[in-house]
Structure 1
Amino acid sequence: MEIFTSGKLTKVKSRHEPGVSKQTGFTSPATHYLEPTIDLNQELVVNRDATFFVRVDGDAFKEHNILNKDVLIIDRSLSLNFDALALVVQEGEFKIRRIPFGFSEKEEEFTVWGIITYIIHYAR
C-alpha cells in the first residue's frame, strides 16, 4: 500500500468571529452625535467664492415654481446655457428669467447676474 502526501494542513488565518454585543439596556439618545452632519455648502455649492444665497419675498415668481420665503442658490461663475433659470437685473431691479435661445447681453434688455442652481422651498 502506498501513502500519498499532499502537504501539511494549516489553520485558517482569518476567520470571522462574531463579537459579543457591549450594549446593555436602551440605546443612548446621543448616538446621533457620532454621525457626521450634512453640510449643505459642501453638497450644493460648486464654487464657494461665486455663490450667493437669496431669500425670495413674495409670490411674484410662481411661474418658475419659486414661492414666498424660498431660498435661491445662485452661482455667478457658471456659463450661460439656453433655458437656464437666472437672476437678472432689468431696469435696475432683480428679476428671475429663463435664458432665451441665442441670448446675447448686448441685444437683450437685461443683464444676467447669476445662474440659479437650487431652489430650497420653505415648508410652512
Structure 2
Amino acid sequence: MTAYVPASEVSPGPPLPLVLSRVSAGFPSPADDYVEGHLDMHELTGALSPSCYWMQAEGESMTGAGILSGDRLLVDRAIEPASGDVVVAAIDGELTVKRFLRQGTRTALLAANPNYPSIELCEGQELVVWGVVTFVLHNARGRS
C-alpha cells in the first residue's frame, strides 16, 4: 500500500456525460445517442466526505474480489466494518487490504486469491481497521 490522499484534496474535474443506456456485455445492441445529464465522480462515490481517502492497491491477494495491483481504492473510515466488508487494516503495524470476517470471538482477514493465506488474528495481535473500501477504480487497459 502507498500513502493515502484525502478525497477532499482530489480535484473533482469536469463533470462527465452520463448516458443511461445499458451496454450489452454479450451481443451488441443499438445504443441511444442521448446524454441524460452529467456524472460527478465525487457525488457518485461519496468521496467528498472528510472521512474518505484514496489508496493504491499493491499485490495480487484480492484479485477474486476484483481488486488488482495498481487499482485505486476509496476507503471510508466512518463506516463500521461488517463481516464480509473489504477493509484496509493494519496488523501489528503492517498495512493490508483484505475481507474482514468476525464470527463470535474469531476475527480474520481473508485473502480473495487462493494463492495467498488468510490471516487469523491471535490473542495479543493488534488490529486497526483504517476503513471500509467502498469503490475500486480499475484501469481496463491494464496500465497503472
- TM-score past 0.5 threshold: yes
CA displacement at 1:91 relative to structure 2: 2.8
Task: Give the SS at the match of 1:43.
Answer: helix
- SS of 1:100 mapped into structure 2: strand
Aligned length: 92
5 Å-filtered alignment, 1:66-81, equals 66-81=67-82
Q: Is the 8 A contact 2:53 2:74 kept in 1?
A: yes
The residue that corresponds to 1:32 in the other structure is: none
Partner of 1:122: 139
TM-score, L = length of structure 2: 0.52
Alignment of 1:81-120 (within 5 A): 81-101=82-102, 102=104, 109-120=126-137
Residue 7 of structure 2 corresponds to: none
Q: Please provide the CA RMSD for this pair.
A: 3.0
Q: Tell which structure's C-alpha radius of gyration is larger.
A: 1
Q: Report SS of the residue matched to 2:101.
A: coil
Task: Please give the TM-score of this superposition, normalised by the length of structure 1.
Answer: 0.59
Structure having the larger proportion of residues in strand = 2
Give the number of the structure whose residues are more often helix, by fraction. Answer: 1
CA distance 1:110–1:63, change in 2 (3 Å): farther
C-alpha separation in 2, matches of 1:70 and 1:43: 18
What residue ranges of structure 2 are gaps of 5+ in the alignment?
1-35, 108-120
Distance in 1 (alpha carbons) for counterparts of 2:55 and 2:86? 14
- How far is the alpha carbon of 1:88 from its aligned partner? 0.3
What is the DSSP-based 3-state SS (H/G/I as helix, E as strand, rest coil) of the residue aligned with 2:81? coil
When structure 1 is superposed on structure 2, of 51-60 and 83-92 the one drifting more is 51-60
Structure 1 stretches of 5 or more lacking a match? 1-34
- Distance of 1:60 and 1:99 partners within structure 2: 14
Paired residue type of 2:137: I
Distance 2:97 2:128 in 1: 11
Q: Counterpart in 2 of 1:57?
A: 58
Check conservation: 1:47, 1:75, Cα contact below 8 A: no
| Matched-pair contact (CA < 8 Å) for 1:47–1:77 | no
